[in-house]
Amino acid sequence: MDGNGRWAKKRGLPRKFGHREGAKAFKKIADHCMKLGIPYATFYAFSTENQKRPKDEVEALLRLFDEYLDDIREMDAKNVRLKFIGDLSFFPDSTHKKMLEAEEATGNNTGFTCSLALNYGGRDEILHAVKRLVTEGCNLSALNEESFAEYLYTKGLPDVDLIIRTAGERRLSNFLIWQAAYAEYVYTDTLFPDFGKRELDKALAEFGERNRRFGGV
């Protein structure tokens, strides 16, 4: 969900206003995914690297996440299953608790699995998985790609089909680096707060034209 800061800057507003607008766009896009029958979507809201941002911006983001968590009932009513991926121990205890409660409360919903990557980093995720494997004493001969994936934050989620990158950026930024091994990328110059339903439809149409061979012929 890139481009919030630039959206605000263009309007002479502090960056946090861009994040607020981005959060509104997120809600609309999540609703549209649901209407289209997309079973899973993951939104990259805060990376492990984003911690390096100025304290006031990080605090504004934390407040925004916390406020959104109060809205969970709305998502629950729409049969959305919420999932949070990342090192959630970074968040204040009260926010972390709300995340776990939201996952628990919506865990049996079947409509649409909406994952939020919060304090997420692909490298952090792999390292976290390896540490757990070592601590739990893993059986090396039984370890394979499938069983390793069980140790990732995304346990239970399928591999990534499509990554949509907004705001003209063309890099990976540590996002789902294991899971996106064969993902298709669609790029747009649109800043995330301006990214709407039509833009999602366009990205999906582009994805539909790709010929996916997964390394085969």
Burial class of residue 144 (count of CB atoms within 10 Å of its CB; 0-12, 13-18, 19+): exposed
Number of residues that bind Mg ion (CB under 5 A): 1
78 contributes a contact to ligand IPE by CB under 6 A: no
Interface with ligand IPE by CB under 6 A: which range of 43-51, 95-103, 138-146, 204-212? 43-51
Residue placing its CB nearer to ligand IPE in the complex, 46 or 151: 46
4 contributes a contact to ligand IPE by CB under 6 A: yes
For the bound state, the minimum distance from the C-beta of residue 193 to Mg ion, rounded and expressed in Å, comes to: 12
Q: How far is CA 211 from CA 36, 39, 151, 183, in A?
A: 21, 21, 30, 12
The answer to whether 35 and 24 have CB atoms below 8 angstroms apart is: no
User: Which residues participate in catalysis according to the annotation?
Assistant: 2, 50
Q: Count CA atoms closer than 13 A to 84's CA, side-chain side.
A: 27
57 contributes a contact to Mg ion by CB under 5 A: no
2 contributes a contact to Mg ion by CB under 5 A: yes
Q: Which of 17, 46, 65, 112 binds ligand IPE (CB under 6 A)?
A: 46
The terminus-to-terminus CA distance of the chain in angstroms comes to 33
Where does this chain bind ligand IPE (CB under 6 A)?
1-6, 19, 22, 45-46, 50, 61, 167
